[in-house]
A and B are shown apart, each in its own frame.
Chain A
């Protein structure tokens, strides 16, 4: 009698029973946590726009999400969001690439100085590494650097203190200072600065480069730290707003997300204390039939976020699942509630749409 290695596999190993017959709101077994997160664990968050959802949901569940650059006392939520307070554990805004993450860590520990650190626009000066955090910039480049110095002190403290680091991989595409390879979170000329092809160039990081820079980041901070770090990685399901790769944006997006997803898979295999949470699959896979995207087919609906977070929290906070907040979403699509939740997200990349003429 012949035997097959597939005959004793569970139902989730087969597409028909694991996916095609499943409701995206009730799919199970897609994520099994690799390690526990305790309420006392110091959690730091960073990455692409989608990481903001994770931070917010963890805070709602009273996890110890670190906040090293809190908003001034009494600042309203609206104003705090405008100035990027409370979005991540430090006020670094979105970190779309692993190259920028590694670069930030080295800068925080004094081993790196970015080229062209200050960008100008209409007589105001902006931090080129986080141009959106001060929407009106500063009156002088010196002020920008003073603010950056204080910011880096906090980033360093965060990197040393955190027990769990949650990072959402966002993009492979970036703009760099050609000579020094300083990487920026936005293209020069988008929020501030000006694009000069003699100074700046486009970079589309490869699988090897993304993997290498994240591993370098882990090794780099490990040397300075005195306790073990657990890492949770995710890939942002949000497609690119625009590409400078010369590819169709759909192909460019597929490339970017495929590379990032593959890197996360490799990292998960390489590191015992690094977990991958499949929010990307939960939102983009064919079985969802696109219901988790807004009509622009890019922004993730609040139902999509809630569903993704429900599955994440069912592993990391199963007791909290009794909380009604974590129940599967039940409000109609395109409600004001949904729009408001989505609008809360800070995303510089979307500013590229303004150049679509």
Chain B
């Protein structure tokens, strides 16, 4: 990593990168990483406020400033590169519908009730992403800087999801039919669209992936809440958030220029 000043922006998922950075920062004394975060969907309202990026809602604004340690909004001039994480960039729409909506590219046309085009899925996914928090934040930052903006895919859900019956029901048919290719293909379509808009795209480190569409349990166990004052782990069956080891792996694998 040659970059000097990295600005990480995201929702609760920045916690993993923050924890990971704490584990390796001593090995990178020339680098500074600042984390700007917003809880839930607050970053959907990220805006340019007098040349800095911040939030209008007082409570959200305070959290955004406080979590960064700067006590200020995001000043884009102060950073060399931007890394965006979490914020719903995840193939939720594809995975949630797969069991009941087959396409010419999937292998579930016998069991699924409906058969629709691949294009319908791709349009649905892109609409979700293009109107989602990740792209809103990316586009707001792009308006004020030409520096590199890296968009990272939110990690796949933890393999722990098999302890949640309704989630298992969604994933089982994908695994049985070996249709991870369909999920990956749709992610590639989105990645290409993001690249076409001038963003760099970072994939989840392969080492952390379990059965192509999940994250290994060892990278999710012990994930921490973003609110520093709580200093506690997510609930046991939180399958969304990853731990500091996952964050460390990302920092090791991602080449931010």
Which residues on B sit within 8 Å (CB–CB) of A75?
A: 93, 120, 124, 127
Which residues in B have their C-beta under 8 angstroms from that of A83?
Answer: 116-117, 120, 123
> Complex formed: what's the CA distance from A76 to B117 in Å?
16
CB of B114 within 8 Å of the partner chain: yes
Is B50 close to A, CB under 8 A?
no
From A22-30, A137-145, A256-264, A320-328, give the one contacting chain B. A137-145
- Say yes or no for A116: interface residue by CB 8 A criterion: no
Which B residues lie within 8 Å of A40 (CB)?
none
Residues 170-199 of B, flagged 1 when their CB comes within 8 A of A and 0 if not, give 000000000000000000000000000000
Set of chain B residues within 8 Å of A72, measured between Cβ atoms: 93, 96-97, 100-101, 114, 116, 120-121, 124
Complex interface bits, A143-164 against B, C-beta within 8 A gives 1, otherwise 0? 1001101100000000000000
Q: Is A315 an interface residue (CB 8 A)?
A: no
The reply to whether A136 and B127 contact each other, CB–CB distance below 8 Å, is no
B109 touches A134 (CB 8 A): no
Q: A74-B124, A74-B128, A76-B128 are in contact. Are A147 and B97 (CB under 8 A)?
A: no
Establish whether residues A79 and B124, one from each chain, have CB atoms under 8 Å apart when the complex forms. Answer: yes
**Does residue A78 face the partner (Cβ distance < 8 Å to B)?**
yes
The digit string for A65-89, where 1 denotes a CB below 8 A from any CB of B, is: 0000100111110110011000000
Q: How far is the CA of A137 from the CA of B120 in the complex (A)?
A: 10
Evaluate contact between A138 and B96: CB separation under 8 angstroms. no
User: A143 touching B104 by the CB < 8 A rule?
Assistant: yes
Q: How large is the interface on A (under 10, 10 to 19, 20 to 34, 35 or more residues)?
A: 20 to 34
**Beta-carbon contact of B120 and A79 below 8 Å:** yes
Q: Does B119 contact A (CB under 8 A)?
A: yes
Q: With an 8 A cutoff between CB atoms, is B115 at the interface?
A: yes
Bound Cα distance A82, B127 (Å): 12
Residue total for B at the interface (Cβ-Cβ under 8 A): 21
Find out whether the CB atom of A146 lies under 8 angstroms from the CB atom of B117. Answer: no
Quote the shortest CB–CB distance from A355 to chain B (angstroms): 26
A146 contacts which of B92, B115, B127, B128 (Cβ < 8 Å)?
Answer: B115
Select from chain B the residue with minimum beta-carbon distance to A150.
B115
Which of A186-231 touch B at CB < 8 Å? none
Q: Which residues of B contact A73 (CB under 8 A)?
A: 93, 96-97
8 Å CB contact of A138 from B104, B109, B128: B104
Residue numbers in A under 8 Å from B121 (CB-CB): 72
Evaluate whether A74 and B97 lie within 8 angstroms (CB atoms) in the complex, with A139-B104, A140-B104 already known: yes
In Å, the complex CA distance between A147 and B114 comes to 7
**Nearest opposing residue in chain B for A146, CB measure:** B115
On whether A79 and B127 interact (CB within 8 A), knowing A72-B116, A74-B96, A74-B97, the answer reads yes
Q: Which residues of B contact A135 (CB under 8 A)?
A: 119
Residue of A nearest to B121 (CB): A72
Instruction: Kindly list chain A residues whose C-beta atoms are within 8 Å of the C-beta of B119.
Output: 134-136
Residues of A within 8 A of B104 (CB): 138-140, 143, 146
Q: Determine the chain B residues whose CB is within 8 A of the CB of A149 once the complex forms.
A: 115
CB-defined contacts of B123 to chain A, threshold 8 Å: 79, 82-83
Which residues 48-75 of A have a CB within 8 angstroms of B?
69, 72-75
Q: CB of B229 within 8 A of chain A?
A: no
Q: Which residue of A lies closest to B113 (CB)?
A: A150
When distances are taken between beta carbons in the complex, the residues of chain A under 8 Å from B131 are: 76
Q: How far is the CB of A138 from chain B (nearest CB, A)?
A: 6
**Cβ–Cβ < 8 Å partners of B100 in chain A:** 72
Bound together, the chains give a CA A341 to CA B114 distance in angstroms of 29
Inter-chain contacts of A79 with B (CB < 8 A):
120, 123-124, 127
Known A-B contacts A74-B92, A75-B93, A146-B109; A136 and B117 likewise in contact (beta carbons under 8 Å):
yes
Cβ–Cβ < 8 Å partners of B93 in chain A: 72-75
Q: Which of A300-348 contact B (CB under 8 A)?
A: none
A239 to B124: give the CA distance in the assembly, Å.
34
Query: Are the CB atoms of A78 and B115 closer together than 8 Å?
Result: no
Q: Cβ of B127: which chain A residues have Cβ within 8 Å of it? A: 75-76, 78-79
Most chain A CB neighbours (cut-off 10 Å) among B101, B114, B121: B114
**What CA separation (Å) do A78 and B123 show in the bound complex?**
10
If A72-B101, A76-B124, A76-B131 touch, whether A134 touches B117 (CB-CB below 8 Å) is yes
CA separation between A147 and B128, bound complex, in Å? 24
What is the distance, in angstroms, from B17's C-beta to the closest C-beta of chain A? 26
* A75–chain B nearest beta-carbon distance, Å: 4
Closest to A75 in B: B124
Q: Once the chains are docked, how many angstroms separate the CA of A76 from the CA of B124?
A: 7
Residues on A with beta carbons closer than 8 Å to the beta carbon of B97:
72-74
- Shortest Cβ gap from A69 to chain B (Å): 6
Knowing A76-B131, A139-B104, the reply to whether A69 touches B124 (Cβ < 8 A) is no
**Bound-state Cα–Cα, A149 to B124, Å:** 23
Task: Name the A residues within 8 Å of B120 (CB-CB).
Answer: 72, 75, 79, 83, 134
Contacts of A69 in B (CB 8 A): 114
- Distance, CA A67 to CA B123, complexed state (A): 21
11 A-B pairs whose Cβ atoms sit less than 8 Å apart in the complex: A75-B93, A83-B120, A134-B117, A136-B119, A137-B117, A139-B104, A146-B104, A146-B115, A147-B116, A147-B117, A150-B115
The 9 nearest A-B residue pairs measured at CB: A72-B97, A74-B93, A147-B115, A143-B104, A75-B124, A136-B119, A150-B115, A76-B127, A134-B117
Given A136-B117, A139-B104, 13 more A-B residue pairs with CB atoms under 8 Å apart are A72-B96, A72-B114, A73-B97, A74-B92, A74-B128, A79-B120, A79-B124, A83-B116, A83-B117, A83-B123, A140-B104, A143-B104, A143-B115
